[in-house]
Structure 1
Amino acid sequence: MTTTTSPQPATEDDYGTHPGAAANRFFKGLSTGAGALILVTLAAVATFLLLEAWPAITMSAAELGESVSFIKPEDGQSLIEIIGYLVYGTLLISIIALLLATPVSIGIALFISHYAPRKLAQGLGYLIDLLAAVPSVVYGLWGVAVLVPVLTPFYQVLADYLGFIPLFAPPESGEIFTGRVAMSAGIVLAIMIIPIITAVSREVFLQTPTLHEEAALAMGATRWEMIKMAVFPFGRSGMVGATMLGLGRALGETMAVLMIIGPGLSYSAHILQPNQHNTIAAYIALQFPEANALGVNSLIAMGLALFLITLLVNMLARWIVSRRSEFSGAN
């Protein structure tokens, strides 16, 4: 009587003399090293920012104001207060961009993935990808030379009819509409992040199981109802992830905002008034050329604040995506 034994699962030691064992070990080490490199780089950046910012963070406002030209304690400014103003302006302008860009991007992605003919969809997808490659300084020049003059009369009308709302309040008496305001910067940033949100959302929508879509259509649903019942539930976390990627891009934008906005430091909600807001990245670029050693430390402290905000945004996006990892087009 013969007996058969089931094969035992292979272990790592079983491949010690295999012809491809060395290549397997090399590839495993290479992949592990590449993954660890990301963590090491992130830790190195965080450590650098913290060490370089620490002298400015621990110094009093009066002592810092004696050495740093853009900190004026006599005007009630300290490093922490300036960072607070800049964080507010950065978030305000980025949220404006996100509110404008998200619905447009989702609409473009849906048109490319479910409505446009194949040849047209390929051409539009290519154009969207090209928009992401345009340098930010080009967007800034276009915004100053073309967009701002076009928007200024619109701002005037908006303030005339909705000026009782603090958000759309007109400039103070004696000031004129320049168009170089937070709203203009937000619109340009929205145009800049549309390609990112559109590209990611398009790929997520294309991953929707065909059987889900066909089942909805077989039950008598219209194409829009099919999208609501099958495409949006499947791609919801992917859309959130795409939106957060766009937000991260808007938070760190420098040149376009610097060229468009009339800079100011305040907690004002008046997005049509000049000299009210600024972003961290634009402020650093504006002050860096004339900053001394301690001034550079102060600017690095602002960069540390931007680093933490961006890190929190990306962690939030990943957490939202992971909540629906079993039924998600983003995974």
Structure 2
Amino acid sequence: MSQAATASSPIQEGAVRRGGSLGDTIFEWACRGAGVFVLLLLGAIIVELFIAGLPAFQAFGLGFLISTDWDPVQEVFGAGVSVYGTVVTAVLAIVLAVPLAFGVAFYLTELAPAWLRRPVGTAVELLAAVPSIIYGMWGFFVIAPAFAANLQPWIIDNIGELPLIGIFFQGAPFGTGIFMAAFILAIMILPFIAATMRDVFEQVPPVYKESAYGLGATTWEVMKGVVIPYTRSSVVGGIMLGLGRALGETMAVTFVIGNANRISASLFGPGNTIASLVALEFGESETGSLKLASLLALGFILFVLSFVVLAASRYMLRSRLKA
């Protein structure tokens, strides 16, 4: 009996092995199919946006990218104002958010006591769970009025009179405008950048920091001379991820940017972004109209901008991992 059991055991093991091999093959092809499906879906979206927006590019040529006209009555459209607003608000949001995110990450990894790190980190990350429309309502009903009544008049009276930079801080104190949109965006992207910085700061080998402390370096000197050089690529990649998030934000920006189709030198002036313009006017567009084609062309431009930014961030993060 034992010999029969022994003789049959290789057959049973072979069956198990073949079954496992079949399962691995199915799982492998399922994963490949999922990856290919995502790529096909991404390609289908961008191709569809390009084809739907092609009448606008044919009607206005490359001038569509820089034209500041947006006149639905005359059917003259241009992307200049919205592209300008999208880029300016996103870049300004990064300028405002990065120092705060760095401070949060620096505090959590180097200064905060162990019992406080998790609650503070969780509180910062919860900001990412707040819906964008809540940020927009909060900015419009709370922050913008307070800014217009208290801080904005002082900035206009003092900084607005300075040479060179004063032109960026002039205008009526309405509260809403390019700067307010950038401020709300900065709060929205802060948790993404801070979480990335905190994670990569924690990946620095402790022996590097301990060696610097052993040589007499201060906490800031360790951060500046050891941590930041070691994590530079990953930090930049996290910032680029935040920039990609800021480029595509819609509802929060729509509430506070002022929604005016003009370019103002002042950061306090109203403006538009691609996402806010599409959100406001898409419902009023007729099927097959040049206006609808122009809005879809704007969507294609935004898709390309976001894709380039996110691809650059992924490349930076991947290059750091390989290093």
TM-score between the two structures when normalised by the length of structure 2: 0.85
- Aligned 1:225-236 pairs, distance under 5 A: 225-236=221-232
Question: 1:292 is matched with which residue?
Answer: 286
Tell me, in whole angstroms, the C-alpha distance in 1 between the residues paired with 2:15 and 2:38.
Answer: 29
Post-superposition offset of 1:306: 0.4
Instruction: Tell me, yes or no, if the aligned pair for 1:94 and 1:189 is still in contact at 8 Å.
Output: yes
Instruction: Tell me, yes or no, if the aligned pair for 2:156 and 2:170 is still in contact at 8 Å.
Output: yes
1:83 equivalent in alignment to 2:53:
no
Question: 1:119 is matched with which residue?
Answer: 115
Query: Which secondary structure state, in structure 2, belongs to the residue aligned with residue 262 of structure 1?
Result: coil
- Aligned 1:199-238 pairs, distance under 5 A: 199-238=195-234
1:46/1:154 CA distance change after superposition, 3 Å: same
Tell me, in whole angstroms, the C-alpha distance in 1 between the residues paired with 2:167 and 2:185.
Answer: 19
> Which of 258-267 and 185-194 deviates more?
258-267
Tell me, in whole angstroms, the C-alpha distance in 2 between the residues paired with 1:167 and 1:190.
Answer: 22
1:281 equivalent in alignment to 2:275:
yes
Q: Which runs of 5+ in 1 are unaligned?
A: 1-13, 62-69
Identity across matched positions, percent:
36
Tell me, in whole angstroms, the C-alpha distance in 2 between the residues paired with 1:187 and 1:52.
Answer: 33
1:170 equivalent in alignment to 2:170:
yes
- Aligned 1:63-142 pairs, distance under 5 A: 71-72=71-72, 78-79=76-77, 82-142=78-138
Query: Which secondary structure state, in structure 2, belongs to the residue aligned with residue 313 of structure 1?
Result: helix
Tell me, in whole angstroms, the C-alpha distance in 1 between the residues paired with 2:203 and 2:38.
Answer: 28
Can you list the C-alpha shifts for 1:188-233, whole angstroms capped at 9, x where unaligned? 1101110111111111111111121222222222222222222111
Instruction: Tell me, yes or no, if the aligned pair for 1:167 and 1:272 is still in contact at 8 Å.
Output: no
Can you list the C-alpha shifts for 1:34-59, whole angstroms capped at 9, x where unaligned? 32223212111111111211223223
Post-superposition offset of 1:234: 1.7
Post-superposition offset of 1:18: 4.0
Instruction: Tell me, yes or no, if the aligned pair for 1:159 and 1:168 is still in contact at 8 Å.
Output: no
Question: 1:66 is matched with which residue?
Answer: none
Post-superposition offset of 1:323: 4.7
Tell me, in whole angstroms, the C-alpha distance in 2 between the residues paired with 1:43 and 1:170.
Answer: 44
Instruction: Tell me, yes or no, if the aligned pair for 2:237 and 2:312 is still in contact at 8 Å.
Output: no
Tell me, in whole angstroms, the C-alpha distance in 2 between the residues paired with 1:325 and 1:254.
Answer: 33
> Which of 214-223 and 136-145 deviates more?
214-223
Residue type of the alignment partner of 1:78: V
Q: Which runs of 5+ in 2 are unaligned?
A: 1-13, 62-69
1:311/1:167 CA distance change after superposition, 3 Å: farther
1:162/1:112 CA distance change after superposition, 3 Å: same
Instruction: Tell me, yes or no, if the aligned pair for 1:166 and 1:269 is still in contact at 8 Å.
Output: no
1:188 equivalent in alignment to 2:184:
yes
Question: 2:8 is matched with which residue?
Answer: none
Tell me, in whole angstroms, the C-alpha distance in 1 between the residues paired with 2:104 and 2:308.
Answer: 28
TM-score between the two structures when normalised by the length of structure 1: 0.83
